[in-house]
Amino acid sequence: MHVMTAPESPASFWNRRYQDVERLWSTEPNAILVESADELQPGRALDLGAGEGRNAVWLARRGWRVSALDVSSAGLARAARRAAGEGLELECVEADWREYRPAASFDLVVISFMHPAPEERASMFASAREGLVPGGHLFVVGVDLAEHGRRGPPDADRLYTPERMRRALQGFELLRCESVGYEGESKEGRRPVVDVVAIAKRPASG
Ligand SMILES: C[S@@+](CC[C@H](N)C(=O)[O-])C[C@H]1O[C@@H](n2cnc3c(N)ncnc32)[C@H](O)[C@@H]1O
């Protein structure tokens, strides 16, 4: 008999990944986010797919009022614990970005190592755009296609190239979009990586 099984939900997939290990990612914030956000005046930030909160907690430490959104309750519980351990405030939102409709209230949206299917990429960025105040910034970092097989999801279509990123970032003023080789953070420490980085602005009148 052929039994059809429903595809696993993102919440179940990610909770399983988090529950399998004590810590899945580095505790260090992304090095390029650190450089870039340091140039901005702290305001309200949304970390979309915040995971264990390394970027969200760093932003909160720098004076940002941060909302950490993730579909995984296990990842968010770690982010909340880490923030509380430092006496920092962090709003945790357990949600799937595909169902989350933020009000235009954030000065910064961070999307760090989210690799949705290619047909969902543009709507993920559109949802980030909706959450930004006019003039607000979007920061995106994700694994470069050149790293396929070494880092990131096994499906090469989900990895980024500057061209894929640019095509999906509709309705933004693009300030930066390129492949960057740098000392990236891993659970084992810093190591050379290649990522695609984009910094974009919601136009002041759009
Ligand atoms: C590779 S991790 C990156 C975590 C974090 N941004 C970082 O840089 O350490 C991807 C995260 O996206 C979350 N995620 C995946 N699909 C999601 C969805 N549809 N809605 C919200 N979060 C999602 C996962 O639970 C996971 O925590």
Does the CB atom of residue 67 touch ligand 1 within 6 A?
A: no
Mean pLDDT value of segment 23-48 = 92
> Tell me: the pLDDT tens digits for 121-160?
999 999 999 999 999 999 999 999 999 999 999 999 999 9
State in Å: Cα 119 to ligand 1 middle: 17
pLDDT at 181 over 80: yes
Q: What is the pTM of this model?
A: 0.95
Using most ligand atoms within 8 A of CB, pick from 27, 71, 141 the residue to mutate for ligand 1. 71
| 3 state SS of 185 | strand
pLDDT at 70 over 90: yes
State in Å: Cα 60 to ligand 1 middle: 19
Q: Spell 111-126 as b/e; 16+ CB within 10 A means b.
A: bbbbbbeeebbeebbe
Q: Give the confidence band of 1 by pLDDT, cuts at 50, 70, 90.
A: low
Domains, the chain, in order of start with CATH, read: 10-15+42-201 (3.40.50.150)
